[in-house]
């Protein structure tokens, strides 16, 4: 069955890989990203019914306008994936300035909440749909020099499990650890060692089928993409 899938952060990394794979499998993707150049490339590559929009999920106004337009032209999504996230540059917490700390929190936590705020009511109205909020291994454990990122992903775990308790039967909210994948973001944290981890190409082959199989009984269950 063809699914309607909303994905944030589709400009690169996991978001772009998931977009390509879902479309390859015949599903419809409605995505957003901050990079206007990347969004334009996706628009040229994939025509309707797919839809791509340039916006910052940290802006509630921008997300509201996006959701309003999408929901006026499409049904509520079957699968909503909050993937957009950033990490901090490695440093002890006391050396991370207020602006960088705030940006991580704004994108990773507030951005996820903004998308939920404006899409989930339409999903609740039809009492169906799966919400997947990307967490991290650092949403369940910690390491030095990534305190803001850890804080944001631990927050996603709590936010998602609480949301799961609020949803009607027939829906699910799942905090998902994608695993450790060689992306540009991982290079910020791991440097040259990032290349020794799972490639995005290999990851997406397992992740997309896994995402498509999520069901209402998975509601509130912390999950990890199979390695």
Active-site position among 46, 74, 149, 197: 149
Which of 31-45, 154-168, 186-200 is the least confident region?
186-200
CATH of 4-215, one of 3.30.870.10, 3.40.50.720, 3.40.50.150, 3.40.50.2300: 3.40.50.720
Q: How far apart are CA 54 and CA 40, in angstroms?
A: 9
pLDDT tens track for 49-95: 999 999 999 999 999 999 999 999 999 999 999 999 999 999 999 99
pTM here is 0.95
Is residue 182's pLDDT more than 60?
Answer: no
Report pLDDT for 196: 64
pLDDT band at residue 187 using 50, 70 and 90 as cut-offs: low
User: Is the sign of the CA dihedral 193, 185, 197, 172 positive or negative?
Assistant: positive
Beta-carbon count within 10 A of 113 CB? 18
197 given a catalytic annotation:
no
112: Cβ contacts below 8 Å, ≥ 6 apart: 57, 82, 84, 133, 156, 159
Count CB-CB contacts under 10 A for residue 155.
Answer: 19
Distances (CA, A) of 127 to 46, 123, 172: 29, 6, 10
192: pLDDT strictly greater than 80: no
């Amino acid at each position: 069955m063809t699914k309607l899938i909303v994905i944030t952060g589709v400009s690169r990394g996991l978001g772009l890989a998931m977009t390509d794979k879902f479309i390859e499998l015949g599903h419809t993707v409605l995505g957003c990203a901050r990079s206007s150049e990347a969004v334009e490339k996706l628009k040229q590559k994939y025509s309707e019914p797919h839809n791509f929009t340039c916006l910052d999920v940290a802006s509630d106004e921008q997300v509201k306008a996006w959701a309003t337009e999408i929901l006026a032209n499409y049904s509520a999504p079957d699968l909503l994936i909050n993937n957009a996230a950033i990490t901090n540059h490695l440093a002890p917490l006391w050396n991370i300035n207020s602006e960088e700390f705030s940006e991580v929190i704004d994108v990773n936590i507030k951005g996820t909440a903004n998308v939920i705020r404006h899409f989930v009511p339409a999903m609740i109205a039809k009492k169906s749909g799966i919400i997947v909020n990307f967490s991290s291994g650092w949403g369940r454990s910690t390491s030095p020099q990534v305190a803001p990122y850890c804080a944001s992903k631990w927050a996603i775990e709590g936010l998602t499990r609480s949301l799961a308790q609020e949803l009607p039967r027939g829906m699910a909210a799942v905090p998902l650890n994608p695993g450790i994948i060689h992306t540009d973001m991982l290079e910020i944290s791991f440097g040259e060692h990032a290349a020794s981890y799972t490639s995005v190409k290999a990851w997406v082959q397992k992740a997309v089928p896994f995402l498509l199989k999520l069901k209402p009984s998975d509601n509130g269950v912390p999950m990890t993409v199979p390695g």
